[in-house]
Amino acid sequence: MIRGIVFDLFDTLVDQNHDQLRPVELEGHKVGATTPGLFARARDEFGVDLPVREFIDRLNQSGRTLRVDTIDQGLELSTLDRFTALGTDLGLSDVLAFGRALTDVHMGALYEACSVPAHHEAVLTSLAIDYRMALCSNFSDAATARAIVNEAGFDPHLMAMVISEEMGVRKPRREIFDATIDALGLAPNEILHVGDNLVADIEGATAAGMRTVWVTRQIGDPEAAMARYEGPQPDFALEDLLDLPVLVARLGV
């Protein structure tokens, strides 16, 4: 019997629209979509006087160094910490202000790239009648994730939002799923976890004792993705969240 539903956020409830965040050219260098804005803010507001190539190298190296002890260990690396560390590396006096400014640039671009499928709010409204619901998301800036959820109108339907930047750990680590289970106040086998990532969502939720739904709407080639995956199989696969109310109704309330 399913009594609760947990949703992943990006490419499950909302679309990240990765095509809007493709690499761009900056003075002859191919860089991440937000790098021109980061470079301009660092130069104009904080007086960072570096050639573009060196700024890019310092930015990338800072992220790689921090990643070893965070993301590579299943821990979250917040966007603020990443850019604050870059400010320290650049020898700036107010590294926190620098980190916040670059976080605003980076997260502003990610926020603008997101869109919400028109039918998702109605799906959550219908499910909220019978099920406790929560969000469990990997994301490096919880404030931006919460703003996206609020703008989409999902807030009233969710009992909890568990976000890796606040938890300090990332899916598929067990701790973030356990926190979500505790927030719903249900047994793990009473909860359905819905997400698009086979490792983060399906493998992680299965290990925590939840049943799983793999949403493939944003997966370019589901068969190829499944062929590369070596973890536990999802209990169910759906092309779209529109089919989720019918699925959970069949499982009983």
pLDDT tens digit string along 83-122?
A: 999 999 999 999 999 999 999 999 999 999 999 999 999 9
- 22 lies in the same domain as 83: yes
Check whether residue 165 and residue 223 sit in a common domain: yes
Give this prediction's pTM: 0.94
Q: Which of 85, 113, 141 delimits the end of a domain?
A: 113
Asked if 180 and 125 sit in the same domain, the reply is yes
Distance in angstroms (rounded) separating the CA atoms of residues 234 and 66: 32
Domain count, the chain: 2
Domain end residue (candidates: 86, 113, 140): 113
Verify that 196 and 219 share a domain, yes or no: yes
Q: Above pLDDT 70, what percent of the chain?
A: 100
For residues 59 and 34, membership in a common domain is answered with: yes
Domain co-membership, 128 together with 209: yes
Please check the confidence at residue 38 and state whether its pLDDT lies above 80.
yes
Residues 128 and 228 in one domain: yes
Determine the pLDDT at residue 19. 87
Pair (109, 33) in one structural domain: yes
Crossing angle of helices 52-68 and 79-89, rounded to 10°: 120
- Based on the domain organization, do 106 and 44 belong to the same domain? yes
Q: 45: domain range? A: 18-113
Q: How many C-beta atoms lie closer than 10 Å to residue 233's C-beta?
A: 14
- Stretch 65-70: mean pLDDT: 96
31 or 104: which leads in pLDDT: 104
Q: Grade residue 253 by pLDDT with cuts at 50, 70 and 90.
A: low
3-state secondary structure 216-235: CCCCCCHHHHHHHCCCCCCC
CB atoms within 10 A of CB 245: 17
- Picking from 66, 82, 113, the residue at the C-terminal end of a domain is 113
**14-20 mean pLDDT:** 91
Mind listing the pLDDT tens digit for each residue in 212-237?
Answer: 999 999 999 999 999 999 999 999 99
Tell me what the mean pLDDT of segment 34-61 comes to: 95
Could you give the 3-state DSSP secondary structure of residue 87? helix
Work out the angle at residue 87's Cα, subtended by the Cα atoms of residues 81 and 91, and round it to the nearest 5 degrees.
145
Residues 68 and 190 in one domain: no
> What is the Rg, in whole angstroms, of the alpha carbon atoms belonging to the chain?
20
What does the pLDDT average to over 113-132? 96
At 145-157, the pLDDT tens digits run 999 999 999 999 9
Band (pLDDT 50/70/90 cuts) for residue 18 is confident
> What is d(CA 105, CA 171) in angstroms, rounded to the nearest whole number?
26
Q: Are residues 28 and 78 in the same domain?
A: yes
The whole-chain average pLDDT of the chain stands at 96
| pLDDT exceeds cutoff 60 at 178 | yes
Q: Kindly report the CA angle at 112 between 106 and 113, in degrees rounded to 5?
A: 90
User: pLDDT category, 177, cuts 50, 70, 90?
Assistant: very high
The HSE-up count of residue 110 (CA atoms within 13 Å, CB side) is 22
